[in-house]
Amino acid sequence: MLTYSDFEKADDRAKFVLSAISTYKNSDEYRMAEIADEYDAQRNVTIQQTVRKLYTASGAVTEDPTVANNKIACNLFNRLNTQRCMYSLGNGVTFIDPYEAAKGAVDETKELLGRHFDHVLREAGYYALIHGCSYLFWDLDRVHVFTMREFVPLVDEYDGSLRAGIRFWQLDSNRPMNAVLYEQDGYTTYQTGTNGGLVETKPKTAYKVTYVYTEADDDALDVIEENYSSLPIVRMYGSRLKQSTLVGMREAIDSYDLIQSGFANDLSDCAQIFWLVENYGGMDDEDLAEFLEKLKLNHVANVDTASGGHVEPYTQEIPHEARKAYLDDIRARIYEDFGALDVHTVAAGATNDHIDAAYQPLDENAADFEHWVSDAIVQLLALQGIEDTPVFKRQRISNQKEQVEMLVQEAAWLDEATILRKLPNLSPDEVQAILTANENEEMARMGISQQPQEGLE
């Protein structure tokens, strides 16, 4: 992989950009991101390449056209990563105390990041999990997400920091390629030229450009160009390992899918049926192979009963219970290794203590995930000279009846606002609405009007 030092040494930047993209697309990191996207789309790469074969009478290996070849892919990879991402980011992030937010306090940092920031953050967090890393680009007043399949990082050879980067995209391999080179002091755009190489389509431009116009005409009187204190692109990792969650999980998913597919194939073509052929000693192996092939294709056997010939099928029961037990075992293993919550293991009516215990592995992994998400957000805010820390609100199920019963027992020592905030079936907006309605009702009961009196300022 090319580095920032290689970029500084390059004489032809357009040529370097094309070379960096080509080198990156051949890297292990890029290939893993491609495979992860396939599994995320429920397309198991391994079983798609599986072909059922047979040995001919001569011993040659060939594809068996007579058997079923079902390819059943599970959705575990998408399901588990969605759970980890939404557990931490499903409710978005805030930068003020939740109780202050319930009172209607304005989250100024959140407003600065834009109203779509929570959606963008979930997208970046999900790609950080399945690819191992994603990139957040601060574009003046909004955030864009770059995935590992569209962004080439140019890192410092000494400390590994991100010094520059190249975003690239094209509709398909036959269409022109577009690329943007991001540096600390601006960005430059490129596009495929007539000779197949990249040509510069827009010279280096500052990230913040202000045009000053006169009232008399539309011509710009002055152009003010500004940049940020550092490259306005930050990395977001999905975990301490800084690698795709598919690593280590792929083999288990492949095994799960192959067992499912094999089970379906056995049910489809009854591969467990075999025949005993009697009084056909004059047939050699080639004749027997041809005889059985016709039998499987036509389901009809020509038997010479006069000479005592006889063909009898025997069936072997498909080991359903053994395969089901294996599938259940490997599914549980995948959930355990990933640190996810399998809701099927939480019994109906379980106490909150049991539910908390089931959430423990998910909580541990969420803490690691939130650390890297928080680190990326802090770097993003630093570009704007802001020091703040995001607050996460995790999504989890609970025994609401038990929570309410406990709250009733504690009600004598709590104020009304605290009781309402702790009720599990009320949202912060509903809490604030109830508090406001109760306050208005109390003021009306005491004869206090909220309308300004006539003649008073």
The model's pTM is 0.79
Distance from the first to the final alpha carbon of the chain: 71
CA 127 – CA 125 distance, rounded (Å): 6
DSSP secondary structure code for residue 97 in this structure: -
329 backbone dihedrals φ, ψ, rounded to 5°: -70, -45
Q: Which residues on neighbouring strands pair with residue 312, listed in sequence order?
A: 276
pLDDT digit of tens for each residue in the chain (457 aa)? 899 999 999 999 999 999 999 999 999 999 999 999 999 999 999 888 776 666 666 667 666 665 667 788 999 999 999 999 999 999 889 898 766 766 667 888 988 898 899 999 999 999 999 999 999 999 988 899 999 999 999 999 999 999 999 999 998 888 899 999 999 999 999 999 888 889 999 999 999 876 666 666 666 555 677 888 899 999 999 999 999 999 999 999 999 998 888 777 766 665 556 666 676 666 777 877 777 777 767 667 666 666 666 777 766 666 678 888 889 999 999 999 999 998 877 766 677 777 778 889 999 999 999 999 999 999 999 998 899 999 898 887 765 677 777 778 888 888 888 887 777 777 666 777 787 888 888 788 877 655 554 544 4
Burial bucket for residue 395 (CB in 10 Å: 0-12, 13-18, 19+): exposed
Q: HEC profile for 61-79?
A: EEECCCCCCCCCCCCHHHH
The span from the CA of 368 to the CA of 242, in Å, is 11
> Tokens at residue 220, please?
């710009």
Tokens of 178: 């577009």
Backbone φ and ψ for 285, nearest 5 degrees, come out as: -60, -35
- Is residue 73 within 8 Å of 43, Cβ to Cβ? yes
Tokens describing residue 258: 């192959």
DSSP state of 313: E
The CB-based long-range contact list for 184-189 (8 Å cut-off, 24+ gap) reads 184/227, 184/228, 184/230, 184/231, 185/227, 186/225, 186/227, 188/13
CB atoms within 10 A of CB 284: 9
